[in-house]
Amino acid sequence: MAFNFFKKNKDKEENKTTPAAATTSSDRYMNLTVADIIQETKDAITIVFEKPANGINYKSGQFLTLILPINGKEVRRAYSLCSSPFVDDQPAVTVKRVEDGLVSNWLPDNLKKGDAVKIMEPMGVFTTEFASTNKRHLVMFAGGSGITPMMSIAKSLLTQEPDSIISLIYCNRDIESVIFKSTLEKMELDYEGRIHVIHVLDQAPMNWQGHSGLLNHDMLLKIFERIPSWGVEKTTYLMCGPEGMMVNVQKLLEEQKIEKSKIFKESFVAGTIDKELKAEGAEPSSDEIVTREVTVIYSGEEHKFEVEPDTTILEKALDLGIDLPFSCQSGLCTACRGKCLSGKVKLDEEEGLSESEIEEGYVLTCVGHPLTDDVVIEIG
């Protein structure tokens, strides 16, 4: 019943399955055909893919990495699956335009039905296992396109766990920017009493009866009064959206004495939520980054190479033509995650890893630098 925690990057704009031992790098990729493009709002589209002949296995809350040829270069971006493997026959992702976003603007302007899109296998650990015997309450806080993984999880939970319920607090700029508005309304009707959606609008219309303005402390207190109380053991809190929103939510949850083990968050951009909540005055690291040799084991092959101070382990591998898995290159999506078997690695960004993953020795090669001469990393 526990969720895992992952982060991902969406064009710095604005989702991990573990492959079998015999998996090769080529098995991580496939081509999907665009079956439909749905205009959700003025700025958001849902891309529905045809189900491949061999099928596609994914979990609710995971993401697809789209690999696109833009301006003569291969560009990768990760987008959450808004579909559910239990409900939807075809996988789908939702993309929202972002100012100056390379991919988020290219897709709605150029992608057409029938186009083939290269993707990496579904990844991400913002997931949970579903069981008909579960009885739990998921409290979801979403902002803007942060609704996408929540939609996937909500569809699955409502169909697979008849005794579980959802409270969704969904923040948007205005009523026209609410993604999946009609779908959410239908879900409330179809599953009456099991999903409760509370909309929060920055700019509310004159006849708006709900909450308006930013999701601040006082508003959160009022919203919490409307959320069913199922007790600590049966309630889990999820959040995905702008950093400011998640900071406010996490601060209130801490104020309410909610255990960290019951709180899970996902971020689409490199964030500061944990940094802002950490105590100040931490001692800076004295580790020096210099040129060192590393060994990377991937798909049964061992690669040895030197990594310079101004280069990450992934960057150097790609420069040498070693096809390691990656997506965001910002330390968020975990597509490049590997286990450090020996040595020490410094990460520029740790937000994509949970505390337990860090304790187990996992590192992210896209933001990793070797600190010792005996670094060995195994991927996959």
pLDDT, residue 257, reads: 92
Residue 236 confidence class, pLDDT cut points 50, 70, 90: very high
Q: What is the pLDDT of residues 91-109, one digit of tens each?
A: 999 999 999 999 999 999 9
Among the ranges 158-172, 208-222, 282-296, 352-366, which has the highest mean pLDDT value?
Answer: 158-172
* 140 pLDDT above the threshold of 90: yes
CB 45 within 8 A of CB 87: no
The C-alpha atoms of residue 3 and residue 179 are separated, in whole angstroms, by 24
Q: Mean pLDDT in the chain? A: 88
Residue 269 confidence class, pLDDT cut points 50, 70, 90: low
Strand-pair category, 92-96 with 337-342: unpaired
Who wins on pLDDT, 266 or 93?
93
Q: Which of 332, 320, 343 is nearest to 367 (CA)?
A: 332
What topology does CATH give the domain 25-123?
Answer: Elongation Factor Tu (Ef-tu); domain 3 (2.40.30)
pLDDT, residue 350, reads: 83
CATH homologous superfamily for the domain 292-379:
Beta-grasp domain (3.10.20.30)
% of the chain residues with pLDDT over 90: 72
Q: Position 80: which residue type?
A: S
Strand-pair category, 263-266 with 235-240: parallel
* 11 pLDDT above the threshold of 60: no
Who wins on pLDDT, 47 or 126?
47
Domain ranges of the chain: 25-123, 137-277, 292-379
Q: What is the pLDDT of residues 300-332, one digit of tens each?
A: 899 999 999 999 999 999 999 998 988 888 888
Best CATH choice for the domain 137-277 from the list 3.30.413.10, 3.30.70.20, 3.90.1170.50, 3.40.50.80? 3.40.50.80
Q: What is the pLDDT of residues 178-199, one digit of tens each?
A: 999 999 999 999 999 999 999 9
